[in-house]
Structures are given as structure tokens and as C-alpha cells.
A and B are shown apart, each in its own frame.
Chain A
Amino acid sequence: MYSLGIDIGSTTSKGALLADGNRIVATALRNAGIGTDGPEEVVKELLRASDLDEGQIGVTVSTGYGRTLYPEAHYRVSELTCHALGAHFIFPGIRTLIDIGGQDAKVISLDGAGRMSNFQMNDKCAAGTGRFLDVMAGILQLRAGDLAGEAALAESICPISSTCTVFAESEVISHLAQGVNRKDLVAGICESVATRTGSLAKRVGVTPPLAMSGGVALNEGVRGALSRYLGVEILFSPLAQFFGGLGAALYGYQTYNKEN
């Protein structure tokens, strides 16, 4: 049976298609989230890539902030549960997951079987989220995807406030005016996100193995800084952005089988 998970976030839509709850058939991503045609485009792409039609999908589950806005879903599940399931699918035995998305950050504790046992999320402020990195990249005339490469070339780390995106923005501008090396600034920006998320993780308690998910997981600069801050290795998969969608598809498969 094919199950489809669609993770509709604030800035991107991600989808995953599973066969029999154990084989990834396709994944798809569009840089368009809630309120766009991103979710429909992702589903079209999944069907095209898998050479399936809609009638062959047994169950569809939506997750993410836009989960309630996708009418085709059989189930709507929070991204907390889905990210936990998806992370455990990729890294069996994982006990802590840090997910940094476009507008929020969450730290999820999992039991040994991959079920969410506790979680903490960021407060209303966007500091420590993907949005923070987007804003900082914009000031430095970089793309968010270029930040990790810049940070890797830093000679030192220029400390940046982790309290507030707006404060950090003016801080970065004044550092630029003082001639601080851009690469050192980017390293400081990555460190800032890591510090904020790391303190959130410490509230929940960090039990290894630990993995990261969400778009920010792709940023090696943040991953490295977070690993140093917490003193643990961080597992990484190129599928990190799809954990929510994978977990949604897995939830659909498991629930469908229980109910039928």
C-alpha cells in the first residue's frame, strides 16, 4: 500500500511517498508553503516521480502549520509526532531530535521505540529559526544556502546576539561597518542559532543519539556549532527536510492498518 505524507510549512512544502510503510518511493519539495500552490505541486511531483495516480494512494496525512488547510488528507497530525516518526524511520533508536524550520524550533524527546515522549518549542520570537538565517543572509547579500560554506572559511567567530532577530540585524550591520570579515560574521550567526536552540534542548534534556531535521539541518555551520555547544554528535541525513513528510506517511500507513 502507498501512503503519502505532506508537510506544509511556513516557507516550504515537503512530501514523501512510502510503499508498505518501509520503502521510500519518492520525495518532493517546493519553496512555497502555507497559502500557495506548493502542497499541490509537491503531490503532483510525487505522483509523477513514482509513476502513480491519485487512486493508487491508500492514505494521505498532512502535517506542518498548514495541515488543516489540505482538504485531501485523511488524517491531520502535528509535525511534532511526524518529525519523531520520520527521524526514527531514518535513524532507528534515536532519542532526541532537533527540528529547526522556517519559523519555529522544536526539540523532541523520543522513547526507544521512536515515539515522542516530550517536546519543547521556541517562544514567539523568530531568533534561532530559519527566518533568522534568511534575514541575516539577506543583509550579507548571500543566499541562506551559502551560509554554511562561508562559515567553514571563518578564521574566528564574531559573537552575535541570540536574543532577537531585529537586534542581531543591527548588530551585524554595525560589525560590517566596522570592517569585520563577512565569513567570521556568518560563523557568529550560525553560533547564535546554535546557542538559542541548544538552550532549548537542555530544557528537555539531551539523550543521544541526537539528530537534526528541517531546512536548517542542511546548514553544516549550525550543525557543527550545535554539536560543540551540546557536546554530542549530531546525526545528519540528506533527507532531513523530509522527516515530517516521511513521518506523516508512516503514521498514515500504521493508522490505516490498525483501523482496517
Chain B
Amino acid sequence: MAEEVRKKPAPPDPDSARFKLGAIIEKHYREVHEAKARGEKIGWCASNFPQEIFQTLGVKVCYPENQAAAIAARGAGQKLCEIAESEGYSNDICAYARISLAYTRVKDVPEQNMPLPDFLLCCNNICNCMIKWYENLAEDLDIPLILIDIPFNTGYEPGPDQIAYVKAQFMDAISQLERITGTTWSEDRFREVMDISNRSSRAWLEATGYTRYKPSPLSGFDLLNHMAVAVCARGTVEAAEAFETLVKEYKEAVEKGTSTFRAEEKHRFMFEGIACWPHLRTTFSALKNRGMNMVATIYADAFGQVYQDLDGLIRGYCSVPNAVNLEKARDTRIGIVRKTGAEGLLVHTNRSCKLWSGFMQEMSKQIGESCDIPVVSFDGDQADPRNFSAAQYETRVQGLAELMEARKKGE
């Protein structure tokens, strides 16, 4: 009889936040598949499209960005990117877009399948590449596209004209979706969804805020996984409850002095940009091995919207991190660095995201000067593994660790 050489991992505690959050993602994909099988119209949706609309209507959607990240993290990013490139798409465009467009060709990717959509919900508050990506999906699949255009804020805050412009589109999107799906809008249900979304967002933001403790009760990279729920289910009671459980766990961890960061927390830093999903283990290990814990990221908080009324809701979607000008983006990050006590800034120059990486050089320089912390950048990509060099990354991360170490020693 064979000897057991490796212990099986303990079954996850069904009351844990990790279990609940995982179950929400499973349920999310299952429900969309089931809705499609029942003959309901289902959609594909941009990550920062106002989710309150389809939650209120009870319409099921899934998220190409989440799918692309999952496919990339599970090792099939390059295969899908190459399929899109063979169709004529440039390797210079967003890898999420390439993966998504390729998926509509192959229709079956075991790393993360989704049912094909009957309509598309697009919002360009995260980037304008999104518009062309969704227009091509609509053309290829011959399905309707609902676009909410949220212009980039050149000023510090969205003005009343912008709020009015987006609100009109919000109302129009409701009418279009009612027509496409045969559902009916309910103001009572809308208020309920707004309440649930606020409850989820408050709990999510409270959870992400626990990185301010020293040492942090969590590895910041955990948030990059948990945020999938903030993207796809923040308008659900299950998500609110799961995030509240997460808060409870972090509170207990602070009291007990435990952490999900499985190393001594020697350095605390801010990570700027989307994770390098195809190289998550490499990028995380290089940090963990040096005791570097990510305690700050704008990315996680991007999906926590707290508002009082419809205007507040619209203002929130007009103010997501990618839609604001350099000064506002910089000041928000400076606030996060100060709140969390981050001692360095590691910038992912993401080849997929021209918008995010474009002004990063200047913004990160200003953050470094304002907070008196070292800033280091590396080249990578959110989903195309070809745009990353592990050796270059290692050197930069070690350089950042050495800078932070020297400052601590007062050298």
C-alpha cells in the first residue's frame, strides 16, 4: 500500500470568507449558464458598468475582464492572444480584449468558460479601448450593444453637466435593456439594490482598509482575488455578507496578531496597476521571499462605490480611478500611501493598459517625492505572458527592497 507522502489540504471552513467568496464566484458563473439554458437573455458587461441597472432588472451578466484574468492566471492567455492576433488584431492592444475576442472564435476554453451573450453592456470609464472591443464583439456576434459614455475628467471632480449627461444615458440604458430582455424596472427594487450595493461596498472598503495595521492581517494580493466578487456581485446580499465576514476575520487577526501574509512583514509597499496574472506566482514569490507585503493598491478600492442617491451613484461611476485626472489620481494614492504607511511604490508598467501606464511615470514620480518613498517600475502585462521578464523583475524588486532597507537603517 502506498504511503501518504503529502497531507491533503484541510477542507475549507464553509463559514470562512474565503469559502463564501469562492462560492459566490461559482454561483455567479453557474447562474449565468442556467439563465442562458432557460432561454433568458444574458449579457457580457464591462467591469465598471453601473451594475445597479441589471441587478434591479434581475438580468444575468458575466464579465469578460474577469474571464480574461482567470484564463491568463490559469495559463491560457498566450494561446488566446495568438488566436486574436492571427485574426488581425495587433499585439499592441489590451490582452483582455484579445482574449475576449478570441474566445468568441473558439467558444470553449476550459480555463474559464462563459455562455455567449445576447447583448453587451459597455462603459468606457476605465478605458476607451473598451468601446472598440465591445463594438467588435457586437459586430461579430450580431447582438445589441448598450454603451454608457463616461468622459475622462480633465477637472478634479465631475461637473453637473457631466452628471446630467451620464444620468440621461443611465436612464436610456434601462429602457434599452427592458426592451431587449423583456423585464420591467422597479424603483423599489432599485432602492433595495442601491442599499445592498452600499452595504457590500462599505464592507469591502473596510476590509481593504485593514492593511493599515502593522503588521497587516492580510497579504495584499488576497484582495486581487477577492475583488472579483466586488466586480461581479456587489449588488447581492451574499457578497455583502461575505465581505462582512472578511472584515470580522481581519479584525480577529489583528487582535490575535496573525496574518494571511506567510512571511515576516519586513517592508510595506504600494503596488500600482493590475496584477501580472500569467506570472502571479513569480511576481508574488519575489516579494514574499523578501518580506515585502503589498498594503496599498488603488485597484481594490476601485470597486467599492458608496453613495447616497442617484446623483451620487452617477458621480461614483464618473470618478473611478481610470476616469480621473493626474492630480486627483495622484492625491488619492498619496492618501492611501499615508493611511497604510507604505514605504515604497512598485509600478507595473502594464503593456496592455496604455491609459493607466501612460501617465504613470509622471504620477509615480510625484507620489514618490510627496511621500518621500522610493519608486520602482517593471514591465509586464495583465494577461499576455510574453511581455514580462522574470530576471528583470527580480532585479527591480530586490533594488526596491534594498532601498527600503537602507532607509530603515538610516543609511
Whether A81 contacts B402 by the Cβ 8 Å rule is: yes
Q: Which of B379, B394, B395, B411 contacts A115 (CB 8 A)?
A: B411
Q: CB within 8 A of A116: which of B349, B395, B396, B402?
A: B402
- A123 and B379 CA atoms in complex are apart in Å by 6
Minimal beta-carbon separation of A259 from chain B (angstroms)? 13
Q: Is residue A140 contacting chain B, with contact meaning CB distance below 8 A?
A: no
**B258 interfacial by beta-carbon distance below 8 Å:** no
Known: A123-B349, A124-B379. Is A81-B399 also a contact (CB below 8 A)?
A: yes
Question: Which of B365, B387, B392, B395 lies at the interface centre, i.e. has the most chain A CB atoms within 10 A of its CB?
Answer: B395
Instruction: State whether B387 touches A115 (Cβ < 8 A).
Output: no
Chain A residue nearest to B375 (CB atoms) is A118
Identify which of residues 99-144 in chain A touch chain B, using a CB-to-CB cut-off of 8 Å.
104, 113, 115-121, 123-124
Residue of A nearest to B407 (CB): A117
A104 touches B361 (CB 8 A): no
The answer to whether A23 has its CB under 8 Å from any CB of chain B is: no
Q: Within B236-282, which residues are at the interface with A (CB < 8 Å)?
A: none
Shortest beta-carbon distance, B349 to chain A, in Å?
7
Cβ of B379: which chain A residues have Cβ within 8 Å of it?
Answer: 123-124
Contacts A113-B411, A115-B406, A121-B396 known; 4 new A-B pairs at CB < 8 A:
A80-B395, A80-B399, A118-B374, A119-B376
Q: In this complex, what residue of B is CB-closest to A125?
A: B379
Q: Which residues of A contact B394 (CB under 8 A)?
A: 68
- The residue in chain A whose Cβ has the minimal distance to the Cβ of B388 is A124
User: Which residue in A80, A119, A120, A124 is a CB contact (below 8 Å) of B389?
Assistant: A124
Interface size on B, residues (CB 8 A): 21
**Residue on A nearest B374 in the bound complex, by CB:** A118
**Could you show 10 A-B contacts with beta carbons less than 8 Å apart?**
A65-B395, A79-B395, A80-B402, A81-B399, A115-B406, A116-B406, A117-B403, A120-B377, A121-B392, A203-B365
Q: Which residues in B have their C-beta under 8 angstroms from that of A123?
A: 349, 379
Q: A65-B395, A121-B395 are in contact. Are A116 and B403 (CB under 8 A)?
A: yes
Q: Which of B387, B396, B403, B411 contacts A118 (CB 8 A)?
A: B403
Q: Which residues of A contact B396 (CB under 8 A)?
A: 121
B:353-411 near A, CB below 8 Å: 361, 365, 374-377, 379, 387, 389, 391-392, 394-396, 398-399, 402-403, 406, 411
Nearest-CB residue, chain B, relative to A203: B361
Task: Chain A residues near B411: list those with CB within 8 A.
Answer: 113, 115
In the docked arrangement, what's the CA distance between A80 and B396, Å? 9
CB of B402 within 8 A of CB of A78, answer: yes
Give A78 to B387 CA distance when docked, in angstroms: 22
Chain A residues near B403 (CB-CB < 8 A): 116-119
Chain A positions near chain B (C-beta within 8 angstroms): 65, 68, 77-81, 104, 113, 115-121, 123-124, 203
Chain A nearest CB, measured from B409 CB (Å)? 10
Q: Kindly list chain A residues whose C-beta atoms are within 8 Å of the C-beta of B406.
A: 115-116
- Residues of B with C-beta under 8 A to A115: 406, 411
Distance of A117 Cα from B399 Cα, bound (Å): 10
From A78, A117, A118, A120, B395 is in contact (CB under 8 Å) with: A78
Q: With A118-B374, A119-B376 in contact, do A124 and B402 touch (Cβ < 8 Å)?
A: no
Residues of A within 8 Å of B377, CB to CB, are: 120
B376 proximity list for chain A (CB < 8 A): 119
A80 to B374, CA, bound (A): 14
Tell me whether A65 and B391 are in contact (CB under 8 A): yes
- Top 6 A-B pairs, shortest CB-CB distance: A78-B398, A80-B399, A124-B379, A78-B399, A81-B402, A123-B379
Nearest chain B residue, comparing its CB with the CB of A108? B399
Residue of A nearest to B361 (CB): A203
List of B residues within 8 angstroms of A80 by Cβ: 395, 398-399, 402
Question: Which residues of B sit under 8 angstroms from A77, Cβ to Cβ?
Answer: 398, 402
Bound Cα distance from A117 to B376, whole angstroms: 11
Q: In the complex, what's the smallest C-beta–C-beta distance from A144 to chain B, in angstroms? A: 22
CA distance A79 to B392 in the complex (A): 11
A217 to B349, CA, bound (A): 28
Residues of B within 8 A of A124 (CB): 379, 387, 389, 392
Which residues of chain A are within 8 angstroms of B349 by Cβ–Cβ distance? 123
Distance in Å from the Cβ of B276 to the closest Cβ of chain A? 13
